[in-house]
Amino acid sequence: ENYLDLNSASFNVPDMLGGGYHYMQFDGKYIDSNAMEANFNYHAIRAVDNPGANPTFPQDTFFTVNLGGLAIDNNTTFNIGVNIAEWFKGPNTWDLNQLNTVLMPNSAAQILMYENGRNVFSLGSVTQ
């Protein structure tokens, strides 16, 4: 409910991290290994090394979601399933005690998110 316009500037990536767009932004709290409430900021962007004036990009981290063939006409309704848990478990098990904040300038973490994100989406019901 905080983002009335999903194309707002709040989704821009800072220039020092190479600019661009957050393709996924997920913030929350979890209970850490000391049984304390802790924050996490799981923001997916391009993997960047050397944050600052001359960033380098070891790998693009965008991915295509292929939901299979689908014929769409003016009356087609389709639902896309999103299993948020997959961002944290497949194929890489995510340990929030190790990787919880300051993930945007961490290219290795960005590549892990990219790998996990490819299992998040599925085609749900289709009605025509």
The Cα 59–Cα 75 span in angstroms is 39
The Cα 98–Cα 86 span in angstroms is 18
Question: Which H helix or E strand runs over 108?
Answer: helix 107-117
AA letter at 9: A
Percent of the chain with pLDDT over 90: 47
How do residues 23-62 score in pLDDT, each as one tens digit?
888 899 999 999 999 999 999 998 989 888 888 888 889 8
Is pLDDT above 70 for 122? yes
AA letter at 108: A
Specify the pairing of strand 121-127 against strand 56-59. Answer: unpaired
pLDDT bucket at 111, cuts 50 / 70 / 90: very high
Task: Show the tokens assigned to 115.
Answer: 């790998």
Neighbours of 107 (CB within 10 A): 21
> Do 67 and 122 meet the contact criterion of CB atoms below 8 Å apart?
yes
Q: For 4-8, 106-110, 117-121, which range has the lowest pLDDT when averaged over its residues?
A: 4-8
pLDDT bucket at 22, cuts 50 / 70 / 90: confident
> Do 83 and 46 meet the contact criterion of CB atoms below 8 Å apart?
no
The Cα 106–Cα 46 span in angstroms is 10
> Do 76 and 102 meet the contact criterion of CB atoms below 8 Å apart?
no
Is pLDDT above 70 for 8? no
What are 18's strand-pairing partners? none
How do residues 12-21 score in pLDDT, each as one tens digit?
888 888 888 8
